[in-house]
Amino acid sequence: MKSKFLLSFLIALLVFSSAYLWVWNKLEGTTSTVQIIEEEHGIEQVENIEEGNKIERLNVDEVFFLLVGVDTGDINKIKVDKHGATNIRSDTMILCKVNFKDGSIRMMSLPRDSRVPINGSLDKLTHAHSYGGMKLLMKTVRDFTKLDVDYYVRVDYRAVENLVDAIGGVTVDIPTKMYKIDTTKGMEYLIDFKPGVQKLDGKNSVLFLRYRSYTDGDIDRVKMQQYFLTEMIKQTLEPKNILKLPKILDVYSKYVDTNLPTNIIYAGVGLAGKLDKENIETTTLPGEFLDLETSYWKVYDKGAKEVYQEYFGEYLMD
């Protein structure tokens, strides 16, 4: 049961950006979460992610958190200045709810270009992490969604590459030709996929997730990320991959950090067997493109409130 729980729980959380949240030493009862290296001010502790916010769990049968994807090189050594700035934008942001009682998984993607208030000015959501790390990003998401989200899981994209390789690849059906070349020194890459069913290794999975040249830009990209991650979960949950658990756990320890306390994870042990890989619902923050010298995603306030209510209604704040 313990192995089944670990695999099921980690995969369920990974659904959203291609990584998992678990580190083996959490099973041993250690209390460390993220360790952000601040050059002048030591280690930032993230348990109190927002001043004045009381962290409490509303439903013991589920966990509600923000999944954040970044490209850092080392998730455990993100440098910040005295103001908390990381200068690293968050590339993927998804609100996630995993319920162990009914086996459901719900996730809503927040487009990185969403035009939202950050420190009193309208800006792109992706900039919040750059300006103030997880504290500012969490505050920004709470303020504009009015959702009581207390926890986060932050992952480096290298988690995707290493996880896919650990399970032997992910099979996907690519809907259209994808081609993109970048010759920027030190950042060179080539994306060249033909349409059709194919198995992607870790490196090609990352390229697939990063591809941007869709008709509807970031919105289509979000949909393809959701498709890939759903397939990844289904394939990772195959019984043959239980034997690969040690490799998977090693990926978490290197490329994932979270402020989820150990007791929340243990609380789901008895319910993990009900997680249903077919009971996954995904959506995207409603809106439309807005061109103001640069491209934004204009959020439909009414439509967004309806989705918040449908997916995460019990977490709406007054």
Q: Quote the CA–CA distance of 202 and 102 in Å, as a whole number.
A: 32
219, 113 in Cβ contact below 8 A?
no
Q: Domains in the chain and their CATH numbers?
A: 2-315 (3.40.630.190)
Among the listed residues 318, 290, 284, the one whose alpha carbon sits nearest the alpha carbon of residue 304: 284
CB burial of residue 177 (10 Å; 0-12, 13-18, 19+): exposed
DSSP-based three-state secondary structure for 93? strand
pLDDT in tens, the chain (318 residues): 333 433 444 444 444 333 333 322 333 333 333 333 333 333 334 545 656 677 777 777 788 999 888 877 666 667 777 777 888 888 889 898 988 778 788 989 899 999 999 999 999 999 999 999 899 999 999 999 999 999 998 888 788 888 899 889 999 999 999 999 988 877 788 999 999 999 999 999 989 988 888 877 777 887 888 788 778 877 877 778 777 777 777 777 778 888 877 666 555 544 455 656 577 788 899 999 888 888 888 999 999 999 999 999 999 997
Q: Please report, for residues 17, 31, 103, 104, the alpha-carbon distance to residue 278 in angstroms, rounded to integers and kept in the order given.
A: 18, 33, 9, 9
| Residue spans of beta strands (DSSP E) within 111-263 | 115-118, 121-124, 151-156, 170-174, 178-182, 189-193, 196-200, 256-258
